[in-house]
Amino acid sequence: MNRPVRTIKKARASKVMSGAGLLVRTLADCGVEFIFMEEHPDTEPVRDAALRQRGLKVIHPVSETSCVPMADVCSRYTGRPVVALTAGGGHCLNQVMGMTTAWGDKSPVISIGIARSRGAGASPVFDRERTDPCEVFSSISVYHETVRAWSDMREIICRGVRESLSAKGGTVHIEIPIDIIESTGSLSSDASPGDTECFAQVQAPVRAEEKKIDQAVDLLLRAKRPMIFAGGGAVRAGAAQLVNDLARKAGIPILSSMGAMDVVDPANPMYVGPSSYLAGEAFHYAIEKADVVLAIGACFGGLDGFGLPPLWSGKIKFIQVNIDPTYIAFNPGAEIAIVADARETVNQLMERIEAVSSRLPDWTSWVSSIKRRYHGHVERVACEAKNHKSKNGRLHPAAAVLAVLDRIVASDALVCVDGGNTPLWAGMFASVKGPRRVFFPTGMATLGVGIPMALGLKTAAGNRRVILFTGDGSLLYNIQELELIKRYNLPIIIAVNNDSAWNMIRAGEIMLHRCVGTALPEQDYAAVAESYGIPARRISSLDEIPAALDKAFSSNGPMLFDIATDNNVYPDSLASFIRVEFMGSLMPQPLKKMLNFYQNEIKIGRNVINIMKYLMKTM
Amino acid sequence: MATYLGADLIVETLVREGVRHVFTVPGGQMIPIHYAIDDHKSMELVVPRHEGAAALMACGYSMAGLPSCVMATVGAGIAYEAGSLAFAWRERLPVLSLAPQVQSYKMKPIQENLQACDQDEIFAPITKFHAIMYHRDRIPDLIRRAVKIALAPEPGPVHLDTPVDVIFGFKRVSRSKKKRLFPDRRFRFEGSVRPSKEAVRRAARVLASSKRPLALVGRNVERSRAGEHLMNLLNATGIPVVVSSAAWSSVPGASELNLGHAGLWRNERGIKALSRTDAIFLIEADEETGRLVRNIVERDSGAAVVQTAGLAASVGSLVPVTAGITGSVIPVLDDLAAASGSFRESSHRERSWVPSLMKEKEVSAKEYLRVIGPAHRVKACAGVIEKIGAIAGPDTLIVCDGRMAAGTAMTTLKRSGLHNTVMCADDYAPGAGFPLALGMKCAMPDRDVILITEADSFKRHSRELQTMNRYNLDMSIFLFQDKDKKPKEEVDFASFTKSFGIEASSISSPEREITEMTARDTAGSRRGILFDITL
Mutate to test the interface with B, among A134, A516, A560, A576 (most CBs of B within 10 A): A516
CB contact under 8 A, B75 and A136: no
pLDDT at B105: 86
Domain count, chain B: 3
Rounded to an integer, the average pLDDT of A162-168 is 85
CB neighbours of residue A500 within 10 Å: 18
Answer whether residue B420 is part of any domain: yes
For the stretch A555-600, pLDDT in tens is 989 999 999 999 988 888 888 877 777 765 554 444 445 444 444 4
Residues of chain A with CATH 3.40.50.1220: 210-372
Please list the pLDDT of chain B residue by residue as tens digits (535 residues).
688 899 999 999 999 999 999 999 999 999 999 999 999 999 999 999 999 999 999 999 999 999 999 999 999 999 999 999 999 999 999 999 999 999 898 888 888 888 889 999 999 999 999 999 999 999 999 999 999 999 999 999 999 999 999 998 888 889 999 999 999 888 888 889 999 999 999 999 999 899 999 999 999 999 999 999 999 999 989 999 999 999 999 999 999 999 999 999 999 999 999 999 999 999 999 999 999 999 999 987 789 999 999 999 999 999 999 999 999 999 999 999 999 875 555 567 888 999 999 999 999 999 999 999 999 999 999 999 998 888 888 999 999 999 999 999 999 998 988 999 999 988 889 999 999 999 999 999 999 999 999 999 999 999 999 999 999 999 999 999 987 776 666 789 999 999 999 999 898 888 888 776 566 566 555 578 999 998 8
**Class (C level, CATH) for A388-618:** alpha beta
CATH number at residue B281: 3.40.50.1220
Cβ atoms of residues B475 and B60 within 8 Å: no
Q: Under DSSP, is residue B328 helix (H, G, I), strand (E, B) or coil?
A: coil
Query: Chain B residue closest to A580 (CA)?
Result: B113
Q: Under DSSP, is residue B392 helix (H, G, I), strand (E, B) or coil?
A: coil
Chain A segment 261-300 residues within 8 A of B by beta carbon are 299-300
Residue B17 is given by DSSP the state: T
CB contact under 8 A, B499 and A504: no
Instruction: Specify whether B79 is located in the same domain as B166.
Output: yes
- Domain boundaries, position B509: 373-534
Of B47, B170, B495, the CB nearest to A517: B47
Answer whether residue B399 is part of any domain: yes
Angstrom distance (rounded) from CA A19 to CA B320:
37
CA distance B349 to chain A (A): 31
CB contact under 8 A, A477 and B318: no
C-alpha distances in Å from residue A360, one per residue of A89, A221, A242, B364: 60, 6, 18, 87
Residues of chain B with Cβ-Cβ distance to A477 below 8 Å are: 49-50, 80, 463
CA distance A569 to chain B (A): 17
Kindly report the backbone phi and psi dihedral angles of residue B227, in degrees, each rounded to the nearest multiple of 5, phi listed first.
-55, -45
Instruction: Specify whether B386 is located in the same domain as B527.
Output: yes
CB contact under 8 A, B470 and A521: yes
Burial class (CB in 10 A: 0-12, 13-18, 19+), A601: exposed
Side-chain half-sphere CA neighbours of A378 within 13 A: 20
Angstrom distance (rounded) from CA A424 to CA A477:
20
Instruction: Specify whether B122 is located in the same domain as B238.
Output: no
CATH number at residue B50: 3.40.50.970
pLDDT at A187: 73
Give me the percent of chain A exceeding a pLDDT of 70.
Answer: 88
Instruction: Specify whether B431 is located in the same domain as B356.
Output: no
CA distance A334 to chain B (A): 16
Answer whether residue B113 is part of any domain: yes
Instruction: Specify whether B214 is located in the same domain as B331.
Output: yes
Cβ atoms of residues A59 and A460 within 8 Å: no
Answer whether residue B154 is part of any domain: yes
Closest to A508 measured CA to CA, from A579, A442, A445, A440: A579
Q: What is the CATH number of domain A210-372?
A: 3.40.50.1220
Cβ atoms of residues B396 and B375 within 8 Å: no
pLDDT at A6: 47
CB contact under 8 A, A128 and B89: yes
CB contact under 8 A, B113 and A301: yes
Residues of chain A with CATH 3.40.50.970: 16-203, 388-618
pLDDT at A590: 46
Instruction: Specify whether B288 is located in the same domain as B405.
Output: no
Count Cβ–Cβ pairs < 8 Å, chain A vs chain B.
Answer: 253
Residues 6+ apart with CB under 8 A from A595: none
pTM of the predicted model as reported, rounded to 2 decimal places: 0.94
Q: Is A518 on the interface with B (CB under 8 A)?
A: yes
For the stretch A209-249, pLDDT in tens is 999 999 999 999 999 999 999 999 999 899 999 999 999 99
Beta-bridged to residue B506, according to DSSP, are B532
Sign of CA dihedral A588, A592, A596, A598: positive
pLDDT at B523: 57
pLDDT at B115: 83
pLDDT at A319: 98
pLDDT at A4: 42
Confidence of residue A605 (pLDDT cuts 50, 70, 90): low
CB neighbours of residue B18 within 10 Å: 10
Angstrom distance (rounded) from CA A414 to CA B255:
63
Closest to B432 measured CA to CA, from B447, B454, B448, B415: B454
CB neighbours of residue A291 within 10 Å: 16
pLDDT at B210: 92
pLDDT at A432: 79
Residues of chain B with Cβ-Cβ distance to A504 below 8 Å are: 28
CB contact under 8 A, A65 and B287: no
CA distance B495 to chain A (A): 5
Instruction: Specify whether B212 is located in the same domain as B176.
Output: no
* Domain edge (last residue) among B315, B333, B365: B365
Instruction: Specify whether B47 is located in the same domain as B160.
Output: yes
Instruction: Specify whether B46 is located in the same domain as B176.
Output: yes
Closest to B208 measured CA to CA, from B350, B349, B320, B335: B349
Q: What is the CATH number of domain A16-203?
A: 3.40.50.970
Angstrom distance (rounded) from CA B99 to CA B394:
38
